[in-house]
Each structure stands twice: as structure tokens, then as C-alpha cells.
Amino acid sequence: MGNAAQAEIQNLRERLAAAEAVAAEVARIKAINADLEARNALLQLQNEKMRRTLYGQRSERTRHLIDQMELTFEECETTASEDEALAALAAAKSNVAPFERKRPARKPLPEHLPRERVVIAAPEACPCCGSDRLCKLGEDITETLEIVPRQWKVIQTVREKFSCRECEKITQPPAPFYVTPRGLFGPNFLAMLLFEKFGAHQPINRQRDRYAREGVELSLSTLADQVGACTAALMPLYLLIEAHVLAAERLHGDDTTIPVLAKTKTDTGRIWTYVRDDRPFGGPAPPAAIFHYSRDRRGEHPVAHLRSWTGILQADAYAGYNALFQTDRVPSPLARALCWSHARRYFFELADIATQLKKRRKKAPVISPLAVEAVRLIDVIFDIERAINGRSVQDRLALRQELTAPLVIDLEAWMRENRTRLSKNSDVAEAMDYMLKAWPAFTAFLDDGRICLTNNAAERALRGIALGRKSWLFAGSDRGGQRTAFMLSLITTAKLNDIDPQAWLADVLTRIADIPQSQLADLLPWQWRTLENQRQAA
């Protein structure tokens, strides 16, 4: 290798080191700013509590205001902890000093909780000289709060110290890895904290109050700090799940609203989901889902989410997806498949007495015979789909061509014939137009056995958010919405693979730091279940 080549390599190395240093410094500054925001939110919360104690009234509205401020502080504290962990990772690749947040003095864990000693075995011989003449000098104890169902306990991890009588060398086993700084909480507790917040939709301040009633006093800042650290630790798994989802040939896409806290009100953000589920056509790939957050519902968001993906997108008729189907899209336009459940719903609402009573209130319900007939015709197609669910692509395609295609042709002819007899303001006409204007996208399933009749896979993935909105009221910030989308990706993927999300998260948090990068995929839910079954069988 010539001198010029060596100089070029050295120059590239120096530029890479400089870039890493800049990235580490940016991450450090970001962590400092997040820490300042968390401190400011804490001071505001403390000031409001003291002011309300002195001058305020004890009302439900006051309690809601404090809850809102606590949620704001929770989001800031979690973000600061996450940024600190990311800054530490960036600093490890450069010579930039990592940023460490100043935290309040650690409270001792409750004395009334039982202690369980886990002693790390000491070496039988001195690792320095090989002598077996070891003498115990003492031990270091790290107390970690852990939980078992209906029982709290503190695990004492003991690392005994020994000195060698031959060479006077002091020996002690290395400290185990802790997911979060200082090792205050065990992986089972952290998994419970994450699942309760993002899977069971219980905000951290409510969890804190429940723990206090059980005799364990924990501060809101401490719990929020743990959530942020866990988010940073679990990021590699999210990236693997995202890559798996975007490797699919067909995706289900949908979105729903999510209230986001603003200065004087709550804004309406969106949570988007993309679900890979090949089980309806007998595909061997495991199911998975990813979620994204945005402040609004502009079409640029799905375009960005699926920027490099090609395949079949099953969704509703939302116009924001249209850019994905343009012929000039790079790398290529997506194939469009619309949802028959959405179309049926419009007819069903016009044929359902209960829905009409709710809409018209005291007026007599008006049931459309055409809507009733449309529901009947569509239900026959649904019956065939349920019978062929899970079969191979070839079988589904053959049976659809034989059984379903004639029914779809008859349905189209029936709708076009009756549509000409209806006024443009008729509700039934609007329901018919919804299908007829995009009829090729509704009938795409007849030409491809991979396509499902409905987009229910995505709607099921979003159901938890719709159920939980009244519980957690709103996301505390845009970062909080992004964090919610991140954790929902992990929890929903675990549910799709029929495993307990909390048990899976606990095991992942135990092992993720020690597992080699090449084996990280073993922690994915579908791989984890297989390994867990093998361990149980053994």
C-alpha cells in the first residue's frame, strides 16, 4: 500500500472520529436541555402544589390540573432519562465526556419488605496467582426492588470480597448488569411498569398511588426515569421489528386519534400502524406491527413511513394514501386494496334499528330496504372468506374465482342499477358511491390470494388506543406520543405472537445487555417463544 493510500485512510479515520465527536456533543447538549426541561417542570409542579395547598380549593378540577402537571413532568423526566442514555452511548464512541444528570439522594428501600440474598459465587482460586488460600474481607450489597405477583420483595445481590494470603490480591466478582442506572429496580418490576403504562393504559402517577397503598413509596420522577432508560435500552429490538414488518409483501395500514397536551388545550395527534400478518394466506412469516406518531394527519406521514417499501397496502379510502399509488412513485407505486368492512359499515348503520334510534333520537327510525339487501349480499361474501381463511395463496385464489367472483359481479350490477334511482343526497347513494368510485381497489382481492377482504388486522391493533384514551386522557408531548408508538410496537407484536408481553419484556430486559449483537434476533417475540418452549421442555 502506497503512502498516498495510507494518508487517505488516516484522513478518513480522523474525519470519522471528528464526526462521532460532533454527534456525541450534540447528544450531550440534547440531554442537558432535556434535563433542564424536566427540572423546570418539577419546579412548576412543586410550586403549583404548594400554592394550591395554601390558597386553593379542594375540588375535582384542582385534582385534574395537578394530574395534568404531573403528566407533563413525567414526560419531561422520561425524555431526559432517555436522552441521557443515548448521549452516553454516543460518548462511548468518542472522547466527549458523557453527561450525567443530578438526581436526588436515593431513598433506602422499605425496611418492612423481605430480603432475598442472591450470592454470586466467589472464585475457588486467586485469579492472579492461582492459590486457593482465600480469606473473606467483606461484601458489597446492591438492593434491587423486585416484584412477584401480589408480593413485594427486595433482592440483595451480594458480591463477596476475598484476599489472597499468598499475594494479598483482593478478588471480587464483577457487578451484574442493571437495565437502568443504579440498579434500583429489577426487570420484572420494569416490565410491569412499562406494560401497565403502555399496554394497560395506566399513567405512572396512578401506578405510583397504587404502589403507595401497597406500602411502597416511590416518586414520580424515579418511575419516569426508569421508563426513559428502558426505552433507550429496547431500541435495537424495535429496529429489528420494523425491518421485519417492512420486509412484507402486504401490509395493513390505519390510524386513529390521540389527544396531545398543548399549552392551553389538547391538540389531536395521530397514531399510525402498519401490520404484517401473513397467517390468512398461510404465510410462514410471524406477525408483527409497528406504530408511528404524528401531530396531524397530513398525507406526508404515510409517505414517509413507507418511503422505501413496495407491495400491497390494505387500508381505508383516506386520501392521504393516494401519493403512494401514483405511477411516478419511487421505487414503484403500491398496489391498493380497500377494506370491505368499512364499506359494509356504511350500509349496516342504515339498516340497524339501534343506530337509527341513536341518531334520530325521538324520531321514528328509518330503515332502508336497499341497505338491508346490501348487507345481506356482502355477508355472503364474508361467509366464503371465513371458510378459506388460512389456506394457501393458490387455494384462496381458485376458490375466490369460483365462488366469490360471480357474487361480486352481481353486487356491482345491483348497486349500479339501484344507484341511478337514488338522489345524490341519499345516504344509501353515498354508501354505494364509496364502493363504486374505487371498485378496482375493492375487487383486487379476486386477483391475488394474499389480499384480505378487510383491514381488520390494523383496526384490531389500534383498538387498545381507543379503549385507553379515556384512561390516560392525553399524551404529554410529541416525545410522549413517539414513545407511546415505540412501546405499542413491542407490546402489540408480542400479543400478535400469542405471548405475554410483560413476561417477554422482563426476560428481554434481563438479557439484552449481555447478548451478542448477532444473537439479538433471539429476543424477538416469535423467536423468544420458541426458545422459551424449548427451555420449559428441557
Residue 63 lies in a domain: yes
> 121 with 173, same domain?
yes
Residue 226 lies in a domain: no
Q: What is the total count of domains within the chain?
A: 3
> 429 with 388, same domain?
yes
224-262 b/e (C-beta count within 10 Å ≥ 16 → b):
bbbbbbbbbbbeebbebbbebbbebebbbbbbbebbbbe
Task: Spell out where 197-296 has E strands.
Answer: 250-261, 266-276, 288-294
Work out the average pLDDT over 361-377.
78
Backbone angles phi, psi at 111, to 5 degrees: -70, -25
Supply the pLDDT for residue 419. 92
Supply the pLDDT for residue 513. 82
> 85 with 156, same domain?
no
> 67 with 38, same domain?
yes
Task: For the chain, give the mean pLDDT.
Answer: 86
- pLDDT category of residue 61 using cuts at 50, 70 and 90: very low
> 35 with 132, same domain?
no
> 29 with 69, same domain?
yes
Higher pLDDT, 22 or 507: 507
Contact 191, 42 (CB under 8 A): no
Interatomic CA distance for residues 340 and 442, integer angstroms: 7
Q: Is the pTM of this model over 0.75?
A: yes
Q: Which residues constitute the domain of residue 424? A: 340-452
Interatomic CA distance for residues 277 and 190, integer angstroms: 29
Higher pLDDT, 424 or 387: 387
- pLDDT category of residue 441 using cuts at 50, 70 and 90: very high
- pLDDT category of residue 505 using cuts at 50, 70 and 90: very high
> 64 with 130, same domain?
no
Backbone angles phi, psi at 523, to 5 degrees: -90, -5
Work out the average pLDDT over 138-155.
85
> 344 with 422, same domain?
yes
Residue 485 lies in a domain: no
Q: Which residues contact 105 (CB under 8 A, 6 or more apart)?
A: none
Work out the average pLDDT over 190-216.
91
Residue 313 lies in a domain: no
Residue 183, pLDDT above cutoff 60: yes
> 417 with 387, same domain?
yes
Give the count of beta carbons closer than 10 Å to the beta carbon of residue 268: 12
Going by C-alpha positions, the residue among 263, 321, 256 that lies closest to residue 291 is 256
Residue 3, pLDDT above cutoff 80: no
Residue 261 lies in a domain: no
Work out the average pLDDT over 170-198.
86
Lowest mean pLDDT segment, chosen from 164-168, 183-187, 257-261, 466-470: 466-470
> 83 with 112, same domain?
no
Look at residues 409, 435, 452 and tell me which one is the last residue of a structural domain.
452
Supply the pLDDT for residue 455. 94
β-pair partners for 140: 159
- pLDDT category of residue 60 using cuts at 50, 70 and 90: very low
> 357 with 440, same domain?
yes
Residue 257 lies in a domain: no
Residue 61 lies in a domain: yes
Residue 189, pLDDT above cutoff 90: yes
Supply the pLDDT for residue 59. 45
Supply the pLDDT for residue 359. 62
Kind of pairing between the strands at 151-164 and 170-171: antiparallel
Look at residues 183, 207, 226 and tell me which one is the last residue of a structural domain.
183
Interatomic CA distance for residues 356 and 366, integer angstroms: 7
Lowest mean pLDDT segment, chosen from 64-68, 175-179, 218-222, 389-393: 64-68
Residue 371 lies in a domain: yes
pLDDT > 90: what percent of the chain? Answer: 46
Supply the pLDDT for residue 438. 95
Q: State which H helix or E strand residue 158 sits in.
A: strand 151-164
Residue 16, pLDDT above cutoff 60: yes
> 87 with 113, same domain?
no
Which tens digit of pLDDT belongs to each residue from 306-356? 999 999 999 999 999 999 999 999 999 999 999 999 999 999 888 876 666
Look at residues 137, 165, 183 and tell me which one is the last residue of a structural domain.
183
Supply the pLDDT for residue 168. 87
